[in-house]
Structure 1
Amino acid sequence: MRWVALTAVAPVAWGANYFVTHEYLPAGSPLYGAALRALPAGLVLLALCGWRRPHGGWWWRSAVLGALNVSVFFALVYVASQLLPTSVASTVMAMSPLTMTLIAWPLVSERPRTAHLAGAVVGLAGVCLMLLPGADGVSVPGVLASAAAMLVSSFGHILTKRWNADTDVLASTAWQLTAGGLFLLPVAAVAEGPPPALSTPALVAFGYVSLVATALAFTAWFTGLRHLPAATMGLIGLLNPVTGVLLGTMVGTETLTVQQLCGLVLVLAGVMLGRPTRAGLRGAGRTPPRPGPHRCPAPDPPPSRPQPR
């Protein structure tokens, strides 16, 4: 269960990230906001792993995963955080359990268990209840941006699980974040002009977003992906909307309606319903080795000689 506890750090930090972005970071600069979140985190992790460089296929894999998990995902999350209340923005991401489960089936051969599917459906029902028409502050573009972020990240995380079996987690995470940040900087300069002026609270907020909600959270999440099945990871991710709702109501100015409260209860029920079994945790996270040119069949034993009498 230590892998479950470690992985839970990520969705809790991401749920708080919605609140910090909505309250303290400048609106109208999603590309710069995403770059300032990713690049410092990647450089810090690179320093921690001794500036280890990618090798072999990880040069292009880092670029692909950096684009999916960082560049596109961070920009969409920034837009969603500015357009939606914290509770709604983080709750849309609760659709990721079902999405990750379905994507993991063909990509990493993880057939979903009934309990995982049931938990994902119950959690999704809670999401739909919290997003029914009539909830205050729901922006259609914001919901679309959050849903797109969920789809992109789900696909990127399963690709990470598929490709990350024989690599150092810290180094691969560092290069994903660094590549994603480097992709974002020139696009931000062209699309948004000069970087926005940052106040002291915004600098402190970027420190949390980059070091805690990115460097620490993604390292914990990708470590969990190596040891836990994708369906379990998606259900742990339901702690994201729980954190967002609680922060939005306790710290922010948002109100928790009866409708949202019922949806929150369903989300928590989905987490409990699809919690992994002890036997599943022991073996589900292991990915069978894929054959490759470096794997050769063992030679046949030499024939035995008749012993002299």
Structure 2
Amino acid sequence: MVLFNYIIMCLIFGTTFLAIKVGIDAGAPPFFSAGIRFFLAGVILFVFMVWRGKASLSLLLKKEMFLTGFALTFGVFATLYWAEQYLSSGIAAVLSATAPLMILLLQTTITRKSLPAISWIGCLVGLAGVILMLLPGLTITFSSVWLMGCATVLFGQVFYSVGTVYSRSVIQRFQDSSPIALNAAQMIYGGALLLILSLFTENVHVQSMGTPSAIISLVYLIFVGSMMGHTIFYWLVAKTNPVFPATWLYISPLIALSLGVMFYHEPLSVMSLVGGITIIIGIVLINLSNLKQLLVKKQNVMGNVSHHR
């Protein structure tokens, strides 16, 4: 059941980038569609958790929910949705995979602990991958807007890294609340902030949101991408550990890259593909020690099961 849910989660997270692209190409305003997605998903999930007695309405009054919502939903997805107006979904997905690199650098800055050599190598490999991915836009057909889109996605991962590091302390502080409820609360705040941004920056027309592609994209992202995907993620955290579910970052970007090329005919240069794979290799090297611990734990569990048989 764990492996099945893990595969489903990777597929879901791998398809959300293309779903965002489909909605934006259909004319949906990026900030408004992102805001509606997360606000509705957050409200539905939060009401469900309150109904089940696993969350309290007072949770919405905590400043921690606003701060995590600002970083993890508003900061990350305002930049991603805006950038996907100018980038392919696959490129956006792979650039988003740089998040663990930024988390590592942030944690190192905060704790002032020296990194293992393999982690530094992973950082350099990941950086090389980003450069390789950006090269086609710099040399083949220079596009300042395309480069700005890439830079915006990378900037969004700074919000993700700050939010992730901060949310770990928030989860410890609110141990009586379900992580799913905490995630729902921050999505409500993040979605509301995105809608406020849309109010001041976009002209929202019913016609643009009412096209079949825009509606299907939004419904999919609300119920499958935000609600189902994140619920499975936290279920896996509870059943395994925080490291294992996070390995979706090694798999889902490549799924997104493949889906964009196969089903949406997105262009992909050989250099960008090599850059994408290089980024993933760098991320694996950064997290090599965690992955080794994960494998050891898995072998120990399998050994205990065999012993009891």
- Classify the TM-score, shorter chain: 0.7 to 0.9
Residue range with higher mean Cα deviation, 128-137 or 198-207: 128-137
- Find the aligned partners of 1:139 and 1:16 in 2 and give their Cα distance: 22
**3-state secondary structure, aligned to 2:84:** helix
Counterpart of 2:293 in structure 1 is 278
| Equivalent residue in structure 2 for 1:72, among 59, 70, 75 | 75
Residue range with higher mean Cα deviation, 15-24 or 198-207: 15-24
Counterpart of 1:53 in structure 2 is 56
Kindly report which structure 2 residues correspond to 1:93-242, keeping only aligned pairs within 5 A, or say none. Answer: 93-105=96-108, 113-132=116-135, 133-134=138-139, 139-165=146-172, 166=175, 167-197=177-207, 198-221=210-233, 227-228=241-242, 236-242=248-254
Counterpart of 1:244 in structure 2 is 256
Counterpart of 2:23 in structure 1 is 24
Q: Displacement of 1:178 after TM fit?
A: 1.2
Kindly report which structure 2 residues correspond to 1:10-21, keeping only aligned pairs within 5 A, or say none. Answer: 12-21=11-20
- Find the aligned partners of 1:263 and 1:187 in 2 and give their Cα distance: 33
Change (3 A) 1:149 1:217: farther
Deviations 1:101-154 (A, max 9, x none): 122345589975544443443333223212212366771221122112111111
| Equivalent residue in structure 1 for 2:281, among 266, 269, 281 | 269
Change (3 A) 1:206 1:277: same
Q: Displacement of 1:196 after TM fit?
A: 4.0
**Aligned residue identity for 1:146:** V
**3-state secondary structure, aligned to 2:139:** coil
Kindly report which structure 2 residues correspond to 1:83-94, keeping only aligned pairs within 5 A, or say none. Answer: 83-94=86-97
Counterpart of 2:39 in structure 1 is 39
Change (3 A) 1:117 1:241: farther
Deviations 1:191-246 (A, max 9, x none): 324454321221111111122222233344566778335xx877642334312211
Q: Displacement of 1:8 after TM fit?
A: 7.2
Residue range with higher mean Cα deviation, 78-87 or 49-58: 49-58
- Find the aligned partners of 1:242 and 1:12 in 2 and give their Cα distance: 10
Change (3 A) 1:73 1:279: closer
Change (3 A) 1:268 1:67: closer
**3-state secondary structure, aligned to 2:66:** helix
Aligned residues: 280
Counterpart of 2:302 in structure 1 is none
Counterpart of 1:295 in structure 2 is none
Q: Displacement of 1:81 after TM fit?
A: 1.2
**Aligned residue identity for 1:218:** H
Deviations 1:153-178 (A, max 9, x none): 11111111121122311110111111
Contact persistence 1:93–1:240 (CA under 8 A): no
Change (3 A) 1:279 1:97: closer
Change (3 A) 1:113 1:91: same
- Find the aligned partners of 1:38 and 1:200 in 2 and give their Cα distance: 20
TM-score scaled by length of structure 2:
0.75
Contact persistence 2:97–2:280 (CA under 8 A): no
- Find the aligned partners of 1:195 and 1:35 in 2 and give their Cα distance: 15
Whose helix proportion is higher, 1 or 2? 2
- Find the aligned partners of 1:150 and 1:102 in 2 and give their Cα distance: 12
User: Who wins on radius of gyration, i.e. which is larger?
Assistant: 1
Contact persistence 1:27–1:82 (CA under 8 A): no
**Aligned residue identity for 2:242:** L
- Find the aligned partners of 1:77 and 1:56 in 2 and give their Cα distance: 27
Q: CA RMSD in A?
A: 3.5
Deviations 1:75-95 (A, max 9, x none): 211111111112222222122
